[in-house]
Amino acid sequence: GQQVMQIPQYQHVQEGEDFTTYCNSSTTLSNIQWYKQRPGGHPVFLIQLVKSGEVKKQKRLTFQFGEAKKNSSLHITATQTTDVGTYFCADMNSGYSTLTFGKGTMLLVSP
Amino acid sequence: DTGVSQNPRHKITKRGQNVTFRCDPISEHNRLYWYRQTLGQGPEFLTYFQNEAQLEKSRLLSDRFSAERPKGSFSTLEIQRTEQGDSAMYLCASSSGVQVAEAFFGQGTRLTVV
């Protein structure tokens, strides 16, 4: 079945530094969604990417979908302590019936 | 609160017992998903309903697991003859599936099998 790989598994940065997490698949992804899960919380939707080469921005967050639709990335500029959490990418199949998650990247931000 | 509601929030059970969890999705959402999450892992898909029809079920799902969504509203997930390996957070999510298929997750039910 579809597998979504995420790297790195964990990253610890100082507040103000940038952060990037990468999502890769050996097969073409349908729709990439990104979620954030705070410690002890549940996944919260951030964004959906559908088109090849798509780039979307939300304030300090930049999301990209690769040209071949086999990879995606999330970049956070100038991290803040409120960015702490685990960031997951997930592939939503075209029928909206399954959402396959990567293992996530845990981000820790020190003040 | 109009979000996804799950009950109970925590459940401790002895091995071999049956447990049932409930999920109340956002009222206008026709798509409902169950996931399982263990520490350090991403949510793992279990099953999917569109209205009252169960359309997808993970091949990894043991036949001890069964889910229902009568009348296309709330859903229940039952685990029979629980095993220690069933200990996990069980997450329910719902979606309207219109254009952006954003999944709204509930707070989850944390199951501990002792």
Which chain A residues touch B104 with a CB distance below 8 Å? 45
Band the pLDDT of A3: cuts 50, 70, 90. confident
Q: Does B105 touch chain A (CB under 8 A)?
A: yes
Residue A96 has pLDDT above 80, yes or no: no
Q: Is B33 helix (H, G, I), strand (E, B) or coil?
A: strand
Residue B80 has pLDDT above 80, yes or no: yes
Closest CA to B72 of B104, B41, B27: B27
Sign of CA dihedral A41, A47, A49, A53: negative
Least confident of A1-5, A6-10, A39-43, B68-72: A1-5
Which chain A residues touch B97 with a CB distance below 8 Å? 96
Residue B71's pLDDT is what? Answer: 87
Q: What percent of chain A has pLDDT over 70?
A: 98
Q: Which residues of A touch B (CB under 8 A)?
A: 1, 6, 31, 33, 41-45, 48, 88, 90, 92, 96-104
- A99 near B45, Cβ under 8 Å? yes
Q: How far is CA A44 from the centre of its chain?
A: 11
Q: Does B25 touch chain A (CB under 8 A)?
A: no
Residue B98's pLDDT is what? Answer: 66
Residue B78's pLDDT is what? Answer: 97
Determine the Cα–Cα distance for residues A8 and A22; give it in Å rounded to an integer: 7
Residue B35 has pLDDT above 70, yes or no: yes
Residue B100's pLDDT is what? Answer: 67
Question: Which residue in chain A is spatially nearest to B91 when comparing CA positions?
Answer: A42
Residue A19's pLDDT is what? Answer: 98
Q: What is the DSSP letter of B73?
A: S
Q: Which residue has the higher pLDDT, A51 or A92?
A: A51
| pLDDT (average), residues A32-45 | 95
Band the pLDDT of A42: cuts 50, 70, 90. very high
Band the pLDDT of A69: cuts 50, 70, 90. very high
A94 to chain B, closest Cα gap in Å: 10
B48 to chain A, closest Cα gap in Å: 6
Band the pLDDT of B1: cuts 50, 70, 90. low
| pLDDT (average), residues B92-114 | 89
